[in-house]
């Protein structure tokens, strides 16, 4: 059967390593952190991946992780990507970045750096990210601007820092950032594990959006602000990565190819690996990419829903996590028979922010990973 | 930056944008952080000529030579460049 799709994977997200000096409690990486880096794709393997994806029509390339700066071959990969004709984005915590490195990466062909902040000041950034890196982030932000490389600042929002939006935007504005993303974290991986302490109240969200709008109004034309609300508060779900198998391809550090970063949580899915297959074959013919492409896989209420082309039934991973079946409607949808589960979760979040709660977050690090694994196996014994 | 006199100034493609032919989409595109703009044939013909510093008169002249049949070319170019200036796809070159 020829299943060749007309969709082009315009975006290749290259997760170069799971290693990361930051310890965000909302990280969407798997809880089972592999402590070793020996299974990571080699430079040659990444170059092959980039070539194959480019042939398929991929044009935006994101280097991420973990922390992509951990890879010593990053510059080499950027040079290769540039010669292939990619627009290259680096998604980083900025730890490991220096002024010289910015220069070399720019000369190698890097187009855009996105620097993420965990908190809006030194103390909170350290508390929420587990590293003393705030001053360095500010310095690197200035340096990127000085070297005239496109810059985006990313502030990952949740219950423990939503009240800092004003402080963050004030800082971003004074640094001269042109593009700021305020993205509420998603609840996958570590984020799911910590959801109770990450999911904000409606009131926190309304406040943060109001502040955001004030800044938008005031600095129109100088600073673009993009606000991503947590989807638990909508009554319609978001499309999964612009539609499963339509636009995005993620290759993880060990070569597995995913339609979206979170897809690893779906049991019974086999992840094709670039070590065994050509990306073209994976994109067009793999069971994984075809499983939820389009609308044929749907069950009710999506199957006969007039809106099905709009959201394609939402996120498959969310459907699985909250309803136990990945072919169900995303329960964020008010038409889903499981929607009350989402309402139950959000109802519990309608308490005010309290500073002490931050201590309950479980940070992403190998020690905690081990601990969680031990707890899990105790449960299953 | 985006405020300059289109009629008199030298300008070129904003270095923040990457202009190229995309085989898979059979069109020229402008790439920028995390996004892409597909260009029509005539837009591409114009931007193609803005990769090095140039002026509006030069672009119109080159296009008139390349497409002698085309009518109202000068106006179309002006309209497109004014829009491109607004979007900051082109920036002034100070000489
Ligand atoms: S979310 Fe945080 S911990 Fe996870 S990869 Fe990004 S910076 Fe590292
Ligand atoms: S029922 Fe399914 S297709 Fe319809 S709006 Fe809800 S999630 Fe989307």
Q: Which atom of ligand 1 is nearest to the CA of A20?
A: 8
Ligand nearest to the CA of A28: 1
Residue A10 touches partner B, C-beta closer than 8 Å: yes
Q: What separation in Å is there between the alpha carbon of A324 and the centre of ligand 2?
A: 17
Query: Dihedral through CA A68, CA B16, CA A11, CA A75, nearest 10?
Result: -30
- Measured between CA atoms, how close is B69 to chain A, in angstroms? 34
pLDDT at A378: 62
Backbone phi, then psi, for A121, in 5-degree steps?
-150, 175
**A143 CA to centre of ligand 1 in angstroms:** 22
A338 alpha carbon – ligand 2 mean position (Å): 12
- Nearest-CA distance from A132 to chain B in Å? 28
The tokens 């004014």 sit on which residue?
A: B82
Ligand 1 pocket, residue A93 CB under 6 Å: yes
Tally helices (H) and strands (E) across chain A: 15, 9
Nearest protein CA to atom 1 of ligand 1, as residue:
A27
- Whether residue A60 lies within 8 A of chain B, CB to CB, comes out as yes
Distances (CA, A) of A216 to A165, A166, A211, A226, A296: 13, 12, 9, 9, 41
Q: Are A58 and A10 in contact (CB under 8 A)?
A: yes
- Tokens for A227, please give them: 């606000």
> In this structure, what is the dihedral angle of CA atoms A190, A195, A196, A199, given to the nearest 10 degrees?
140
pLDDT of amino acid A21:
82
Per-residue pLDDT, A381 = 46
**Ligand 1: which atom is nearest the Cα of residue A156?**
1
Task: Tell me the pLDDT tens digit for each residue of A31-53.
Answer: 876 667 889 999 999 999 999 99
Q: Are A254 and A41 in contact (CB under 8 A)?
A: yes
- Which tokens is A137 given? 């982030």
**Whose alpha carbon is nearest atom 7 of ligand 2?**
A313
Which of B16, B33, B36 is nearest residue A59 as measured by Cβ atoms? B36
Question: Could you count the other beta carbons within 10 Å of the beta carbon of residue A142?
Answer: 15
**Chain B CB contacts of A111 below 8 Å:** 16, 18, 31-33
Q: How far is CA A138 from the centre of its chain?
A: 22
Give B-chain residues touching A107 at CB under 8 angstroms: none
CB A333 within 8 A of CB A347: no
Q: What is the mean pLDDT of residues B58-69?
A: 91
Average pLDDT of the segment spanning B54-73: 90
Judge whether residue B1 has pLDDT over 60.
Answer: no
The 8 Å CB, 24+ separation contacts for A333-342 are A333/A235, A333/A236, A333/A237, A333/A301, A334/A235, A334/A236, A335/A301, A335/A305, A336/A301, A337/A301, A342/A232
Q: Is B33's CB within 8 Å of A179's CB?
A: yes
Cβ–ligand 1 contact at A158 (below 6 Å): no
Of the partner residues B16, B20, B34, the one whose CB lies closest to the CB of residue A89: B34
CB–CB contact A152 B33 (8 Å): yes
User: Ligand 2 pocket check: which of A299, A306, A311 to mutate, most ligand atoms within 8 Å of Cβ?
Assistant: A311
Residue B23's closest chain A neighbor by CA?
A57
Whole-structure pTM value: 0.89
Q: What is the DSSP string of A309-378?
A: HHHTTS-HHHHHHHHS-TTSPPTTSTTSTTHHHHHHHHHHT-S---GGGGGG----SHHHHHHHHHHHHH
Specify the pLDDT at position A178: 85
Q: Which pLDDT score, from 0 to 100, does residue B35 have?
A: 87
What ipTM score was computed for the predicted complex, to two decimals?
0.85
Residue A1 has a pLDDT of 41
Which residue in this structure is represented by tokens 């991986």?
A189
Q: Where are the beta strands (DSSP E) in B6-74?
A: 11-13, 18-22, 27-32, 35-38
- Interchain pair A57, B24: CB under 8 A: yes
Residues of B in contact with A62 (CB under 8 A): 34
Helix (H, G, I), strand (E, B) or coil at A191: helix
Q: What is the pLDDT of residue A214?
A: 93
Q: Are B36 and A150 a contacting pair at CB < 8 A?
A: no
Across chain A, the runs of DSSP E, i.e. the strands, are 11-17, 60-65, 87-92, 112-117, 150-157, 179-184, 224-228, 248-251, 257-258
Burial class for B3, CB neighbours closer than 10 Å (0-12, 13-18, 19+): exposed
- Strands B27-32 and A248-251, by their bridges, are unpaired
Contact residues of ligand 2, CB 6 A cut-off: A 236-237, 301-302, 305, 307-308, 311, 313-314, 329-330, 333, 335
Parts of chain A with a pLDDT under 70: 1-4, 33-35, 377-381
Residue A117: beta bridge partners? Answer: A155
Query: Among candidates A372, A353, A264, A275, which has minimal Cα distance to A317?
Result: A264
Residues 314-373 of A with CB under 8 A from B: none
Round to whole Å and give the CA distance between B41 and B63: 13
Nearest Cα neighbor of B34 from A127, A214, A242 is: A242
The reported pLDDT for the residue numbered A143 is 95
Coil vs helix vs strand at A12: strand
Cis peptide before A301 (omega within 30 of 0): yes
Query: Is the separation of the CB atoms in A165 and A214 below 8 Å?
Result: no
Q: What is residue A131's predicted lDDT score, i.e. its pLDDT?
A: 79
């Amino acid at each position: 059967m020829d299943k060749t799709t007309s969709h082009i994977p315009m975006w290749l997200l290259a997760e170069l390593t799971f290693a990361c000096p930051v310890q965000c409690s909302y990280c969407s990486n798997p809880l089972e952190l592999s402590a070793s880096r020996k299974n990571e794709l080699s430079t040659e393997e990444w170059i092959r991946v980039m070539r194959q994806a480019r042939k398929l029509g991929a044009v935006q390339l994101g280097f991420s992780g973990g922390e992509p700066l951990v890879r010593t071959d990053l510059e080499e990969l950027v040079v290769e990507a540039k010669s292939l004709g990619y627009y290259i984005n680096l998604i980083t915590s900025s730890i490991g970045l220096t002024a010289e490195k910015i220069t070399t990466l720019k000369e190698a062909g890097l187009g855009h750096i996105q620097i993420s902040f965990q908190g809006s000041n030194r103390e909170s950034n350290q508390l929420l990210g587990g590293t003393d890196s705030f001053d360095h982030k500010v310095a690197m932000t200035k340096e990127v601007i000085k070297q005239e490389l496109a810059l985006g600042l990313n502030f990952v929002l949740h219950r423990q820092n939503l009240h800092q939006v004003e402080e963050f935007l004030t800082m971003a504005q004074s640094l001269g950032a042109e593009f700021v993303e305020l993205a509420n974290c998603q609840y996958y991986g570590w984020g799911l594990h910590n959801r109770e302490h990450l999911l904000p109240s409606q009131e926190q969200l309304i406040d943060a959006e109001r502040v955001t709008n004030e800044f938008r109004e005031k600095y129109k034309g100088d600073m673009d602000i993009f606000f991503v609300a947590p989807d638990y508060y909508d009554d319609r779900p978001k499309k999964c990565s612009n539609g499963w198998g339509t636009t995005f391809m993620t290759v993880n550090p060990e070569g597995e190819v995913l339609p979206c970063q979170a897809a690893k949580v779906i049991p019974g899915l086999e992840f094709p690996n670039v070590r065994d297959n050509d990306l073209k074959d994976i994109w067009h013919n793999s069971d994984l990419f075809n499983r939820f492409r389009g609308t044929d896989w749907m069950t009710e209420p999506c199957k006969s829903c007039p809106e099905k082309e709009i959201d394609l039934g939402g996120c498959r991973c969310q459907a699985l996590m909250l309803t136990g079946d990945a072919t169900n409607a995303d329960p964020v949808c008010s038409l889903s028979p499981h929607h009350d589960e989402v309402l139950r979760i959000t109802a519990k979040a309608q308490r005010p922010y309290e500073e002490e709660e931050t201590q309950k977050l479980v940070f992403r690090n190998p020690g905690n990973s081990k601990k969680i694994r031990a707890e899990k196996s105790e449960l299953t014994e | 930056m985006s405020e300059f006199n289109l009629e008199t100034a030298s300008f070129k493609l904003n270095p923040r944008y990457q202009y190229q032919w995309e085989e898979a989409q059979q069109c020229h595109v402008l790439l920028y952080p995390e996004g892409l703009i597909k260009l029509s044939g005539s837009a591409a013909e114009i931007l193609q000529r803005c990769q090095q510093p140039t002026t509006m008169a030069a672009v119109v002249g080159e296009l008139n030579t390349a497409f002698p049949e085309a009518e109202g070319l000068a106006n179309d170019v002006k309209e497109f460049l004014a829009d491109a200036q607004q979007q900051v796809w082109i920036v002034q070159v100070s000489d």
